[in-house]
Each structure stands twice: as structure tokens, then as C-alpha cells.
Amino acid sequence: MSFYIAGTGSALPEKIVSNEDLATFLDTSDEWIFTRTGIRRRRVLTGETLNDLAILSARRALEDARVAGNEVDLILCATMRGDTVTPSLACSVAEAIGSHAPAFDLNAACVGVLYAMEVADSFFAAGKAETALIVSAEAMSKLLNWEDRSTCVLFGDGSGALVLKKGAGRLAGVLSTDPDSHVIRMPNIEGMNSPYNQNGQQPLAMHMDGGEVYKFAVNAMGRNIEQVCRLAGIAPAEVDWYLPHQANIRIIDASLRKFKIGKEKVLVNISEYGNMSATSISVLLDEYARRGTFKEGDKLLFVAFGAGLTSGAVLLEWKKQG
Ligand code: ACO
């Protein structure tokens, strides 16, 4: 017994920023961004808070699963940074949906939802939960240097949510870390007000060596697909749907090329949202689930890489209602 996905939801900021919009204040173009990444536009927080989005996506997933807030036994939020250091985003969601379940945030960058699924799996296996709510929410726009064209064009804001229920569904999962604190780095705001701080203040903005991340990503995605399929005892060709992290369409194509998988099996929405870090996979899942793409028993493979450097894959059978 493990878990299946009983419901999904998502919530995105209203503001749409196109590549052309960025070109009004950056030395860039729609042609450069689209051909290098597959991104046309992204959503950016303006008046909304990340809490607002996280709560809305959680409510939509609960409604989809027909689960009440007080029936949830575990709340996990995958985020690199919520609106407040404390309470955690997960506690804010718990308050809004009327839950007293254990609630905590988890930071595994873009792989956050897969890490959260595997943590939930351990709760299910230990008999500590029957129903889990996973919420991913990222305010990437607040973490970027908007004068750095090599990074700020790549990301977007948003939130997605999944309700997991104990039962047959998950076939296998793998997680790993290839620790590297240089290729993607985002300093913290620590020490700002301390009179004892001797380290000065670092700018809160992302530094990324895009080429190194690209190489890691292609290698890690391929490795995780092979590992998770081996654990489940199936061939990559037997997977019905691939849901890869949406960082760059060229990374997705290059990682999957060697498996000779038909393009129609590889789900993408990067053109609309850019890289939403932990949120990419949950929004992708919600969009395709609501379109009725998945049939009972279909095998879905989620695969992601992220800052840390983290990576992972989860393979499961689609069975929406128990
Ligand atoms: N517009 C126009 N030109 C640009 C832009 C831009 N937005 N950004 C960079 N350039 C220029 C560069 O300055 C460089 O110019 P130069 O040749 O005169 O020096 C040129 O374009 C080529 O740049 P490259 O870095 O070689 O471009 P590349 O084809 O490697 O694509 C990219 C860059 C898109 C960043 C790619 O390396 C990539 O996708 N890497 C992975 C990024 C990623 O997945 N990050 C996710 C991290 S997960 C997380 O952070 C949570």
C-alpha cells in the first residue's frame, strides 16, 4: 500500500509578462528566449501574495478530491521561500483550510513536489497518515535580479497542489543530491539587522551557471528515469505520460532523446509559465488532469532536477478516486 493522486489544483498570478514585455527594459528578444528555452510568457505576482496562491490551489485540489480540510492528516509545502520565515507556508495553508494536521515546508528547489511525495509515502507506510495535501508555491520574481537577462527571463510565479490518499498507485520513487553550492546559488537575507553581523549583506538574487546546470539536468533526468523504471520493473517505453520539470524545452528534449519516446507522451506547458521551480510539475499535472488526458491505470512518470543540486523521479499509476 502506498498512495494515489486523488485531486489536483493550481493557482496563478493574474499578471502575464511576455518576452516582448521583458525586451522593453532588458537587452533581450522573444526570438532569443523562445529558441533557447521554449518560453513565451510567464506569470508574475503583483497584488497577490504567495499565501493567497497557495491557499487557493490547496482549496481547488481538496475540492477536486472531495476531501474536507479537517480530513487531511499531513500538509507539506514545497517552496524555496514563503511570504514569512515563520509561520511556514504549510501552517498558513493549515489555518486557511481548518486543519490541525502536522504541517511543514520542504525546500528541494525544483524537485520539491517529488521530495514531498516521497515524504508523504513514508507517512503512509508508517501508518501515520491516510490523506496528505502537498502544495507547491514559488515567488521566483522576488528572488531574481531583474537586471540580469541571463536568469530573470527563465522563471515565473505560481502554485499547484495535490491530494494524496493511501492506496495502490505509486510504483517507485528515487531522490538524490549531487551537492554543488556554486552552479546555482541564492544568498539569504540573514544578518540584516544584527549589530554583531560581520559578514555584510549579500544581494538576494540568483546566480546561475546556465551551461553547467544544463549538463547536470540532462544527465540527472536520464539517470532518474532509468532508475525509477528499473525499480518498478518496467521499460521507459511502457510509461504512458512523462511529466518533466519545465525549465527548458531543450533540456526536456535532450534528456528523453535516448529513450526514443514519442513526443506526444511528453507533457509540456513551459511556453506559458517558464520555470516555476517546485510548482512546474504540479501545475502541469493539474492542467492535463483537468483536460481528461489520463485514463485509469495510465503510468505517469514525474522527473525533475533543481538547485542543490537535487534530482528525482516518481512513477505511479493514475487512479483518481479510490
Ligand atoms: N537575451 C539575449 N541574450 C542573452 C540572454 C537573453 N535573455 N541571456 C544570455 N544572453 C547571451 C549571453 O550573454 C551570451 O552572449 P555572448 O555569446 O555574447 O557571451 C549568449 O546569449 C549565449 O549565452 P549562453 O549561456 O551560451 O546560452 P545557452 O544556449 O547556454 O542558453 C540557458 C542559456 C537558457 C540559461 C541554458 O544554459 C539553460 O537553460 N540552462 C539551464 C538553466 C536551468 O534549467 N535552470 C534551472 C535552475 S533550477 C532553479 O534554479 C530552482
Ligand 1 neighbour 221 (Cβ under 6 A)? no
Q: How confident is the model at residue 92 (pLDDT cuts 50, 70, 90)?
A: very high
Q: Are residues 176 and 309 in the same domain?
A: yes
Considering its fold, how many domains does the chain have in total?
2
Ligand 1 neighbour 141 (Cβ under 6 A)? no
Q: Give the mean pLDDT of 286-300.
A: 97
* Domain stop point among 167, 196, 220: 167
**pLDDT per position as a tens digit, 35-78:** 999 999 999 999 999 999 999 999 999 999 999 999 999 999 99
Is residue 322 domain-resident? Answer: no
How far is C-alpha 92 from the chain's CA centre?
A: 19
Q: Give the mean pLDDT of 155-168.
A: 97
Is residue 296 domain-resident? Answer: yes
Distance CA 53, CA 31 (A): 31
Query: What is the CATH number for 257?
Result: 3.40.47.10
Does residue 195 carry a pLDDT above 70? yes
Q: Are residues 260 and 148 in the same domain?
A: no
Q: Are residues 201 and 308 in the same domain?
A: yes
Q: How far is the CA of 150 from the centre of ligand 1 (A)?
A: 5
**pLDDT per position as a tens digit, 199-236:** 777 667 788 999 999 999 999 999 999 999 999 999 99
* Domain stop point among 167, 198, 223: 167
Domain hosting 252: range is 172-317
pLDDT for 46 equals 96
Q: How far is the CA of 140 from the centre of ligand 1 (A)?
A: 17
Q: Are residues 270 and 248 in the same domain?
A: yes
What the block records as the C-alpha cell of 251 is: 533540456
Is residue 216 domain-resident? Answer: yes
Q: How far is the CA of 210 from the centre of ligand 1 (A)?
A: 6
